[in-house]
Amino acid sequence: MSRPGFVLEVDDRTPPLVVHEGEGFRLEEFPLGTQVVYPPESLPAMSDVDEAIQHALLHPEGSDPLPSLLRSGMRLTIAFDDISIPLPPMRKPDIRQRIIEAVLTMAADAGVDDVELISANALHRRLTNAELKDIVGERVFRSFHPQGLLYNHDAEDRGNLLHVGMTDQDEDVEINRRAAESDLLIYVNVNLVAMDGGHKSVPIGLASYKSLRHHHNSKTMVRSHSFMDMEKSHLHHSAWRMGRMLADHLKIFTIETTLNNDVFPKPYDFLLKREWEWGVKDQASMLAVRRGLALAPDKLRHKMFHDLRAPYGVTGVHAGETEAVHAKTLANVHRQQMVEVQGQSDVLVLGVPYLGPYNVNSVMNPILATCMGLGYYFNSYRGQPVVRRGGAVILYHPVKPDFNQLHHPSYVDFYEEVLAESTDPAVIEAKHEEAYATDPWYVHLYRTSHAYHGVHPFYMWYWAAHAMDHVEEVVWVGGDRRAVGRMGFRAASTLADALEMVSGTVGSSPSITYLRNPPHLIADVH
Amino acid sequence: MILALEMFRSVPRMVAAKAVGGRIPGILSGPAAPLRLVSREQPAASRPGWARVRVRLSGICGSDLGALSGRTSLYFSGLVSMPFVPGHEVVGDLMDDCDDLPSGTRVVLDSVLTCAARGVEPCASCSAGATNRCDRITVGHLAPGLQTGFCADTGGGWSQVFIAHRSQLHAVPDDLTDEQAVLVEPLACAVHTALRARVNRGDHVLVSGAGSVGLLTTLALRELTPAGDITVVAKHAHQRDLARDFGATDVVVPDEALRGVRRSTRAFHVRGQLGRSYLLGGVDIAIDAVGSRKSVEQALHATKAGGRVVLSGMPAVADLSAAWFRELEVIGSYASASREPAADGRGSFDLAMELAAGGGVADVASGVVSYPLHRWREALDHAHSAGRLGAVKVTFDPRSSR
């Protein structure tokens, strides 16, 4: 039986607590009275995942069973979430592989020949063949990839995009033509956090810039309170309008899955436990890992973390009509991640780990670190933000100005050129976004190399727009001063220094809340 | 007798400067400098049209530093006469009447020693007003020397007195300070460069380098041409600020130059072997205002096919592959002309004099640094590091003794 999440109030007996900071972690002593929000313990995994998949496909929500939707001569497209989730990547076999194999078996039984598989990477980088293989499995990869039937979505391939129409709010709905013209589109997702899934899958994962710009913009982002609460997220409102419109044009069969909180394998599993419950073995592991990280050169440390594969357990598989499925999925996510928190605090403390959605097998550059901290983690709330308006956020991350030139070429220019001029999301959107979005060099790299689209760093910055609008101060503990300064924030060496720096805004005895994630949590703030 | 700094021929010093000057810059103003402070006879202005000039300020130019550090191409060895007194950016006072200019007139010097100065029939270039292209710079009644400051007979600005021909002299308006006036000659070169670039309306121009040549060229481009975006490559913070003041729309540091140009011109980026990086596409016109191999290649690599590259700095050996492959028009820009066809026949100096009166140049002039002749080693050190130390122009003030 797993225990629910809870809020610890730091007292004299509280040991130093784990705070993630890039490719490492520290043990931090928080001021007395600090509220520490712990996620629920990992939910029990399904004992027979294949059986659960079969059940979901044969007894779907709000839809006929999958076999009855399959017929010979039809065009079937299977789209799936790309490498940006789950984080860390999961141990093989990937849940998407299991589902795709089950779907393909049913399709073969029905005599369906025309099948294509598309990685729904929107404006993310193209996955390498090895990464595609990791997701769909060796068998599916070998059967489809050599024939060109398993590929990455190309949001710049004008010939393979279809403008389906406009929503009632004048939003362009333009998605992958193959998917839009299929008799059946099956979408296979991994619903890692509450933000994922539902109508965010097809209308975003298979869309073009023309369509994405309607919700991936500073105005929508700043009004989404929060991304983890689809009822209050303007981003989701837009995606839902698009999704409902698409559902009128196209038969979509959605398959969503949820995972438990087992994000760290041995010997890192002590990071999942509450510090005062660490046994001798956990203490030994912690010391060994800390010592190893301290001695390891940068490349080895990078490898130690990025080679991690999470031993996730599957907690739910639901299939059928998108919205009916997503309601069940969200309930599962909330069961695993929701923690009740009473009231807002003056200061929110967040440890930004080594990995976010956009640096899998890559480097977390300053913009991605900001997106992770002020975008995803800040928005890990329901109801109201954990920190009060005008409060402060203190983040932990080295914020090294290191960029992966292969994956993030436009990020370098964004950092050097755009952020040097302004850090205001609305200003940079108006002045620079279109030039980056249509830059032929970035388009070329996105289409032919493994580069994120030219406009992607803008989107990352917009993710942080709500936080930047809400709080008065942002301080990075341990952050590179130049990089942090370039982004309009401040750097501190220690938590004490950071608290001193924000004391002008929140006073010398502020209320502090620390969200101890990963694993993922959603603070349900009353 | 006058005090003068004299450059003399010294093969060992030239070799030493060339060999280790890059690694040990101090040697360039120390033991390897083929320069000495001498006491010598005042040059005589015995021919008609010649007069003596008492120096107020004389600038240290990049070409002077190149000559002293052995970086100058041997191509020029036949165009100078040793020993000579360097210094061709000069403001001074006439000590004699000179045709229409009375003694005491404050003048600046157009340093090219043309047919008129040499007392020979005007060559085709001089006849056309392209005095900087004079073909007679080795003959006539003067020793060979492409300019004052490279000729054994005229003396030069790095002394108390030198001689100049009326064709070289321009009276300075009273409203210009000496510091502004000493910038007129480099400004005239910048004017000539900007006009040589033949900028069309809206052209995107890259200026590689933000020393005095680069900054003044930026000013001339903005004031005298219909250039659109001007991107300036500047290494130091004060240069970046000045470049913006002078009309640059974008300023980038050298390591980011190609990236910055690529972004603003939406060019494609190619990485060759051994870090060779260049653009397919780029600016319409690039102006190299440094003359180093790196800056020349940067200009070539950042210019779009069919574009134009103007060599304003005295160029080093560079890889010209891009010029061939991208069909670039590579043109030189040397000194200044007495008649600029692109400016309705007006002279570079006239235009420069107007620009020098502007607020921008006045600001720069306030940062002009001067040294007495006997502190020439410090002056050269300062000039070698002018960018880093925040100076746009280092000069000699032969009137000063401290």
Ordered DSSP codes for A488-509: T-EEESSHHHHHHHHHHHH-SS
Nearest alpha-carbon partner for A103 in A326, A264, A254: A254
Contacts of B266 in chain A (CB under 8 A): 435, 439-441
Banded pLDDT at B310 (limits 50, 70, 90): very high
Question: Which residue did the predictor score with more confidence, A289 or B390?
Answer: A289
Distance CA A337, CA A355 (A): 19
Give the pLDDT of residue A77: 98
The mean predicted confidence, pLDDT, of chain B is 92
- Does B22 score more than 70 pLDDT? no
- For chain A, the 3-state helix, strand and coil shares in percent, each to the nearest 5, are 40, 20, 40
Banded pLDDT at B385 (limits 50, 70, 90): confident
The residues facing B233 across adjacent strands are: B208, B252
Distance CA A467, CA A460 (A): 12
The residues of chain A scoring below 70 in pLDDT are none
- Does B31 score more than 80 pLDDT? no
Give the pLDDT of residue B364: 87
Write phi, then psi, for B203 (nearest 5 degrees): -60, 140
Give the pLDDT of residue B21: 67
Banded pLDDT at B25 (limits 50, 70, 90): low
Distance CA A30, CA A348 (A): 12
- Mean per-residue pLDDT, B78-106: 95
Distance CA B81, CA B96 (A): 26
Collapsing DSSP to helix, strand or coil, A187 comes out as: strand
- Mean per-residue pLDDT, B380-398: 90
- Stated as kind and residue range, the H or E segment containing B391 is none
Residues of A with CB under 8 A from a CB of B: 412-413, 416-417, 435, 439-441, 444
- Mean per-residue pLDDT, B303-324: 94
> For A392-408, what is each residue's pLDDT tens digit?
999 999 999 999 999 99
Distance CA A377, CA A371 (A): 9
Distance CA B124, CA B114 (A): 11
> What distance, in Å, lies between the first and last C-alpha atoms of chain A?
26
- Does B51 score more than 90 pLDDT? yes
Tokens of A361: 């097998």
Tokens of A257: 């899955």
Distance CA B190, CA B203 (A): 18
Interchain contact B268–A (C-beta under 8 A): yes
The residues facing B59 across adjacent strands are: B89, B395
CB contact under 8 A, A417 and B260: yes
Between the alpha carbon of residue B77 and those of residues B37, B73, B151, the distances in Å are: 22, 8, 12
Contacts of A413 in chain B (CB under 8 A): 259, 263
Continuous H helices in B313-356: 321-325, 348-356
Tokens of A451: 């580069």
Distance CA B299, CA A457 (A): 29
CB contact under 8 A, B269 and A441: yes
Give the rounded percent of residues in chain B with a pLDDT score beyond 70: 97
Are B99 and B107 contacting, i.e. CB atoms less than 8 angstroms apart?
no
Give the 3-state secondary structure of A262-317: CCCCCCHHHHHCCHHHCCHHHHHHHHHHHHHHHHCCHHHHHHHHHCCCECCCEEEE
Continuous H helices in B210-347: 212-224, 237-245, 257-265, 293-301, 321-325
Contacts of A440 in chain B (CB under 8 A): 266, 268
- Does B281 score more than 90 pLDDT? yes
Contacts with B361 (C-beta within 8 Å, 6 or more apart), sequence order: B180, B183, B187, B216, B219, B355
- Mean per-residue pLDDT, B141-162: 95
- Does B284 score more than 90 pLDDT? yes
Give the pLDDT of residue A268: 93
- Does B33 score more than 90 pLDDT? no
> For B259-273, what is each residue's pLDDT tens digit?
999 999 999 999 888
Give the pLDDT of residue A273: 93
- B274 φψ region: left (φ > 0), alpha (ψ -120 to 50), beta (else): left
Ordered DSSP codes for A23-37: SSEEEE-PPTT-EEE
- Does B29 score more than 80 pLDDT? no
Are A112 and A74 contacting, i.e. CB atoms less than 8 angstroms apart?
yes
Radius of gyration of chain A (CA): 22
Contacts of A416 in chain B (CB under 8 A): 256, 259-260
Give the pLDDT of residue B389: 85
Distance CA A431, CA A515 (A): 35
CA distance A486 to chain B (A): 16
Distance CA B346, CA B178 (A): 23
Q: Check residue A396 and report its DSSP letter.
A: E
Give the pLDDT of residue B376: 93
Q: Which residue of A has its CA nearest to B262?
A: A441
Interface test with A, best of B231, B244, B256, B263 (most A CBs within 10 A): B263
CB contact under 8 A, B263 and A412: no
CA distance B385 to chain A (A): 26
CB contact under 8 A, A440 and B266: yes
Are B381 and B388 contacting, i.e. CB atoms less than 8 angstroms apart?
no
Size of interface A-B (CB pairs under 8 A): 20
Are B163 and B155 contacting, i.e. CB atoms less than 8 angstroms apart?
yes
Nearest alpha-carbon partner for A492 in A474, A509, A507: A474
- Does B300 score more than 90 pLDDT? yes
- Stated as kind and residue range, the H or E segment containing B387 is helix B386-389
CB contact under 8 A, B266 and A412: no
Give the pLDDT of residue A111: 97
- Does B18 score more than 80 pLDDT? no
